[in-house]
Amino acid sequence: NAGVTQTPKFRILKIGQSMTLQCTQDMNHNYMYWYRQDPGMGLKLIYYSVGAGITDKGEVPNGYNVSRSTTEDFPLRLELAAPSQTSVYFCASSEHRDTNREQYFGPGTRLTVT
């Protein structure tokens, strides 16, 4: 299993540009998540999905959109990039709704908005 894969690994955007961060998992997990990681702030949940066709907002959803058309894919869309969105983005998945199950993380995407 490849686990959770993300593309691209690095990206530089200009203010106002848009982009999609791709995330794919091959573990047949129903639950998927997008986090952003900022220095000294830990990970903050942007959006999550409990299955294909179902998504919901996390703690910091403003400026982002997601979709979940298949179990495997959970892309994150930035429509109008802003410097505040400079961060490292992690996609994750988990097997089950039980909260004692760990999350499996992708390698991350480092995004810089200038």
Summarize as ranges the residues that interact with other proteins (CB under 8 A).
4, 31, 33, 35, 40-45, 48, 50, 56, 58, 90, 92, 94, 97-103, 105-108
Q: Is 55 helix (H, G, I), strand (E, B) or coil?
A: strand
Nearby residues of 28 by Cβ (< 8 Å), 6 or more positions away: 71
CA–CA–CA angle 2, 6, 12 (5° rounding)? 155
Dihedral pair phi/psi, residue 100, rounded to 5°: -90, 5
Between 36 and 81, whose beta carbon lies closer to other proteins? 36
**Between 9 and 14, whose beta carbon lies closer to other proteins?**
9
Our CB check for other proteins shows the closer of 14 and 39 to be 39
Report the nearest approach of other proteins to the CB of residue 12 (Å).
19
Cβ distance to other proteins smaller for residue 85 or 94: 94
Neighbours of 14 (CB within 10 A): 8
Task: Tell me how far, at minimum, the Cβ of 38 lies from other proteins, in Å.
Answer: 10
Q: Find the shortest distance in angstroms from Cβ 52 to other proteins.
A: 16
Torsion of CA 46, 57, 15, 18, to 10 degrees: 100
